């Protein structure tokens, strides 16, 4: 009887630990998502994790200047569009992509990569579908946690610290 109780107790402990580790909301960089149907009928859905600055400097300690960045934390940030679109005028087929970026001091390159089911630090340039370069902007409110917003106009904005990186997605005509 003692063995049965011991085995049940151990199984309960193991299951509790496994469940706690699978609860992504408890991560230091919790998951988030945003989904919008734009004025021109494109549904854009983005899933990402929200790292915090925690006193670190963007471009130095996190999201280093001129280096590939996972554009979030943990698993790859994904973006899905349900129609063929243009991103800053460049054509992108309907589908799901991982979202990476190369932050710059004045401009940032936004990368849509065909391989989306991966850890965020995994990246192969040969799998890029589209790259666009956009001008950086300044956020009016400092953002401690990385955030992605989508407006009905198709304007997507990546915001972190005092940085904002806007780009536009439109339905292909």
- At 12-33, the pLDDT tens digits run 544 444 444 467 668 779 999 9
Within-domain flag for 17: no
Instruction: Please indicate whether residue 13 or residue 168 has the higher confidence score (pLDDT).
Output: 168
Within-domain flag for 120: yes
Closest CA to 156 of 169, 144, 147: 169
Within-domain flag for 99: yes
Q: How many H-runs (helices) and E-runs (strands) does the chain carry? A: 1, 10
Within-domain flag for 76: yes
Give the count of domains, the chain: 1
Which residues constitute the domain of residue 143? 28-171
On the CB side of 111, CA atoms within 13 Å amount to 23
Cβ pair 136, 122 in contact under 8 A: no
pLDDT at position 103, please?
A: 97
Indicate the pLDDT class of residue 134, thresholds 50, 70 and 90: very high
- Taking phi over 0 as left and psi of -120 to 50 as alpha, with beta for the rest, 51 belongs to beta
pTM: 0.84
Within-domain flag for 46: yes
Within-domain flag for 43: yes
Within-domain flag for 10: no
Within-domain flag for 108: yes
């Amino acid at each position: 009887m003692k063995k049965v109780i011991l085995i049940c107790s151990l199984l309960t402990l193991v299951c509790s630990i496994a469940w706690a580790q699978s609860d992504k909301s408890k991560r230091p960089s919790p998951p988030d998502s945003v989904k919008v149907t734009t004025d021109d009928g494109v549904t854009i859905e983005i899933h990402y994790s929200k790292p915090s600055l925690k006193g670190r400097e963007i471009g130095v300690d996190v999201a280093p200047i001129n280096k590939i960045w996972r554009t979030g934390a943990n698993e790859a940030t994904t973006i899905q569009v349900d129609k063929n679109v243009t991103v800053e005028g460049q054509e992108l087929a309907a589908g799901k992509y991982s979202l990476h970026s190369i932050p710059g001091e004045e401009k940032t390159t936004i990368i849509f990569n065909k391989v989306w089911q991966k850890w965020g630090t995994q990246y192969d340039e040969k799998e890029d579908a589209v790259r666009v370069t956009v001008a950086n902007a300044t956020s009016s409110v400092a953002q401690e946690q990385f955030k992605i917003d989508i407006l009905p106009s198709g304007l997507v904005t990546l915001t972190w610290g005092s940085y904002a990186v806007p780009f536009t997605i439109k339905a292909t005509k």
